[in-house]
Chains A and B, each alone.
Chain A
Amino acid sequence: QKEVEQDPGPLSVPEGAIVSLNCTYSNSAFQYFMWYRQYSRKGPELLMYTYSSGNKEDGRFTAQVDKSSKYISLFIRDSQPSDSATYLCAMIKGAQKLVFGQGTRLTINP
């Protein structure tokens, strides 16, 4: 069983829709939870990180962590075509080692 599970999609939604992206994990030792965005032929870029359970908002993006269910989510409000990318969840174990989900490929249709 993978430590971090993420539905690879693809996910296609119309412009303006609310997008929900999710990951589940099995290791209760994870403490920091990250979302990265990766455009085609580019390296991943950090969108947000959260520590422990709760919500964190940054503009149109909200990250949510539920440690009791071992479940994290990223919500995108008022989605734009420029949000089309692959979204990767990641979690950290120990001081340095990130464990990534497979990534979900998202397309926002104008």
Chain B
Amino acid sequence: DVKVTQSSRYLVKRTGEKVFLECVQDMDHENMFWYRQDPGLGLRLIYFSYDVKMKEKGDIPEGYSVSREKKERFSLILESASTNQTSMYLCASAIVGYEQYFGPGTRLTVT
């Protein structure tokens, strides 16, 4: 079974803090993704990576950056957290784009 783990289930941070969300997959997948999920908006793609050190912007990259130094690990960075970044963050990995496996999510609250 594919396993995608995320570093925290719940996180509370203050406005202006730098926030790191970590994601690890154990299936040697090339592709990894970060989404946020908000009521009424569904899942929206923030960034994805198709190889180590390679990244592409998704639909809502503003205010975020990513890092992929190792194949199994993909990090999402909020440089200066803001209240409108309060959301559920979901990481996924895939061999092919249409078969993505998701982690359990991190619910981030920015106060």
Contact = CB atoms under 8 A, between A and B. Distances in A.
Interface of A: 6, 8, 32, 34, 36, 41-46, 49, 88, 90, 92, 94-98, 100-103
Given A44-B43, A44-B90, A98 B4 contact: no
Contacts of A90: 43
B61 interface: no
Given A49-B98, A88-B42, 19 more contacts: A6-B42, A32-B97, A32-B98, A42-B104, A43-B4, A44-B102, A46-B100, A46-B101, A90-B43, A95-B97, A96-B33, A96-B48, A96-B56, A97-B58, A97-B59, A98-B33, A98-B98, A101-B42, A102-B42
Contacts of B41: 102
Contacts of A102: 40-42
Nearest to B98: A32
Interface of B: 4, 31, 33, 40-45, 48, 50, 56, 58-59, 90, 92, 94, 97-105
